[in-house]
Amino acid sequence: MAKNPQVSVYKYWTTQKGNRTQLWRLCWHFGPPTANGETPRYTKGGFGSQRDAFREFERTIKPALDAGYPTPQARDEAEYAERPTLAQAIDRYLTEWKMSVRDKTYVDRKQTLERARDILGQGKLLDDITTRSVSEFVTLKTRKGEPSPCTKHNRHLYLRLFFDWAVENRLCKVNPCRRIKLQKPTQGRLRFLAQAECKLLLDACLKVPVRHVGRASPEFIRAFVASGIFIGARLDELCHLEWTDLDWENCWVTIQSKPEVKFYTKNGKNRVLGVNPEFFEILRQYRESREEALRRVKLRIERLEIWKDQRGDAAPGPELMAGFLENYKQPPSVNLLLQKARGLMRSLQLQIRSPLVFPNQHGKRYKGPPNGYDKAVRLAGLKGSGVCFHTLRHTFGSHLVMNGVDLSSVRDLMGHKDIMTTMTYAHLAPNHALAAAAKIPSMLKTEPTEPRDAQVLPVHRN
């Protein structure tokens, strides 16, 4: 094999419409000698000048020769010969991509790509996946029926980014998602709660029937809902809110990232909000209710232990059965009641010791709104009106704009990265926009004004 292939340039004449045109042809030698002792020769023609031929050699042919292939086409075929399957490529993509994104974004994209892997075929090669199969996956029905425009958009986006990465890393030749054109999701209805609806919802939280006080008491549900209304924080931010983030003296709340638990705000920036003192009063009642519940549970355990010492395992009297008869078809034993009470005591102790403002029964963070939220919405008469937990965040932003807060401040308070996201609430303040235009001073005053003194500019001469 020739270590230093020689480059030769040949010219030949062609006739086109009676004109003589000079073209250049590139020739190079590469490979082991044949039986005649000659090195195989490869050619490529069609260059308009000798300089163009040498440029093409340096740009495409020389890298292929350095890699040990006679032509660029042979190099490409060798690189694509051992291509990974769809499952192998997705695993490699997720491994390389995990360190550069937020955990929630990684989980969302991982779920979509793993679902695509199962639908499109795990053992398929990337080049065997067609645009039609991708379209069928994008429009695939969910458990609730037809996918929403946002679901279609996310499926297409995640697959398109994956195949762009595969093409860049020479794992496939084309991206089958590039030919698919989806309509951009339109903005839906902006649902927010009026002031009267907020009061109804907060009052309904105290009426939610809860069987296990250690899981979500009525005061817990009301404080959770009040946080969404008064702070406007995202659900993940509320689940990671700690008592050290609250300034009770100045009524401040700090929303900040917590790298030790791998929690980061959506745009990576911390924000401090001045909150209505009414919110801190709700939090105080919530904290006192847990301590009072713990005191009652300890008192109940003491009474049950006295009953057991005096009367053995006999079923306790009605004074110790309050709140338990409706949960059992027949009176439970004192051992069962003691077991339940001690479990409730441990749960309340874990919640009180937890640094989180809204911990679950194990003292850990919630991964979603408490179960009592849907019951509170139903008791408030808001069921079926498009009220979800994110509606509370819309309520926060909407009432800020309607009370005259400028959009730039609303963006900072809500933690938006782009002002265009905050512009969603701009239509709620039409009167403020009209009033702002009316503040321009009059330009047609009838009073004569004294002319300004003429200013003489100095003349500099060279």
* 244: DSSP letter: G
Question: In this predicted model, which residue has the larger pLDDT, 163 or 72?
Answer: 163
Alpha-helical regions (H) of 318-359: 334-353
* Residue 456 banded pLDDT, cuts 50, 70, 90: very low
Is residue 322 scored above 60 in pLDDT? no
Considering the domain architecture, whether residues 57 and 72 belong to the same structural domain is answered as: yes
* Residue 455 banded pLDDT, cuts 50, 70, 90: very low
Give φ, ψ of 351 to 5 degrees.
-65, -40
Considering the domain architecture, whether residues 271 and 287 belong to the same structural domain is answered as: yes
* Domain final residue, candidates 378, 396, 428: 378
Considering the domain architecture, whether residues 212 and 134 belong to the same structural domain is answered as: no
**pLDDT value, residue 3:** 44
Closest CA to 194 of 233, 229, 235, 232: 229
* Domain final residue, candidates 30, 56, 79: 79
**pLDDT value, residue 160:** 92
Question: In this predicted model, which residue has the larger pLDDT, 4 or 137?
Answer: 137
Q: Which residues are registered as beta bridge partners of 20?
A: 15
CA-derived radius of gyration, the chain: 36
Q: How many CA atoms lie within 13 A of 97 on its CB side?
A: 18
Is residue 282 scored above 60 in pLDDT? yes
Considering the domain architecture, whether residues 324 and 214 belong to the same structural domain is answered as: yes
**pLDDT value, residue 159:** 92
Closest CA to 71 of 79, 333, 225: 79
Question: How do beta strands 271-274 and 252-255 pair?
Answer: antiparallel
Work out the percent of the chain whose per-residue pLDDT is above 70: 80
pLDDT, averaged across the chain = 80
What is the rounded average pLDDT of the residues 98-116? 83
Cβ proximity of 387 and 191 under 8 Å? yes
**pLDDT value, residue 353:** 92
Q: How far apart are CA 402 and CA 386, in angstroms?
A: 21
In a domain, 306, yes or no: yes
* Residue 246 banded pLDDT, cuts 50, 70, 90: very high
Closest CA to 333 of 322, 346, 317, 319: 317
Work out the percent of the chain whose per-residue pLDDT is above 90: 15
Question: In this predicted model, which residue has the larger pLDDT, 426 or 305?
Answer: 305
Residue type, 368: G
User: Total domain count for the chain?
Assistant: 3
Closest CA to 159 of 93, 102, 84: 93
User: Exposure of 320 by Cβ count < 10 A (0-12 exposed, 13-18 middle, 19+ buried)?
Assistant: middle
Alpha carbon 427 to its chain's center:
26
**pLDDT value, residue 357:** 92
Q: How far apart are CA 120 and CA 85, in angstroms?
A: 11
Considering the domain architecture, whether residues 140 and 227 belong to the same structural domain is answered as: no
* Domain final residue, candidates 331, 357, 378: 378
In a domain, 188, yes or no: no
User: 323: which residues sit within 8 A by CB, 6+ positions away?
Assistant: none
Which helix (H) or strand (E) is 23 found in, with range?
Answer: strand 19-29
Is residue 436 scored above 60 in pLDDT? no
What is the rounded average pLDDT of the residues 47-69? 81
* 141: DSSP letter: -
Q: How far apart are CA 129 and CA 120, in angstroms?
A: 7
State whether residue 431 is helix, strand or coil: helix
Question: In this predicted model, which residue has the larger pLDDT, 346 or 320?
Answer: 346
Q: What is the pLDDT of residues 23-32, one digit of tens each?
A: 777 888 887 8
Is residue 401 scored above 80 in pLDDT? yes
**pLDDT value, residue 303:** 83
Considering the domain architecture, whether residues 137 and 218 belong to the same structural domain is answered as: no
Q: How far apart are CA 201 and CA 380, in angstroms?
A: 5
**pLDDT value, residue 318:** 61
Closest CA to 242 of 264, 222, 258: 258
State the first-to-last Cα distance of the chain, in angstroms, to the nearest integer: 74
pTM as predicted: 0.67
In a domain, 458, yes or no: no
What is the rounded average pLDDT of the residues 149-160? 89
Q: In 224-362, which ranges are E strands? A: 246-247, 252-255, 271-274
Q: How far apart are CA 370 and CA 358, in angstroms?
A: 10
**pLDDT value, residue 372:** 85
Which helix (H) or strand (E) is 394 found in, with range?
Answer: helix 390-402
**pLDDT value, residue 224:** 92
**pLDDT value, residue 356:** 93
Considering the domain architecture, whether residues 102 and 243 belong to the same structural domain is answered as: no
**pLDDT value, residue 431:** 60
Give φ, ψ of 173 to 5 degrees.
-95, -40
**Of 54-68, 76-90, 110-124, where does mean pLDDT reach its minimum?**
76-90
**pLDDT value, residue 325:** 45
**pLDDT value, residue 12:** 55
**pLDDT value, residue 18:** 58
Q: What is the pLDDT of residues 201-237, one digit of tens each?
A: 999 999 888 766 556 788 999 999 999 999 988 988 9
What is the rounded average pLDDT of the residues 8-35? 67
The per-residue DSSP string of 152-176 comes to: HHHHHHHHHHHHHHHHHTTS-S--T
Give the range of the structural domain holding residue 139, as residue numbers without chain letter: 86-168
Cβ proximity of 177 and 163 under 8 Å? yes
Q: In 180-270, which ranges are E strands? A: 246-247, 252-255
Considering the domain architecture, whether residues 137 and 245 belong to the same structural domain is answered as: no
In a domain, 126, yes or no: yes
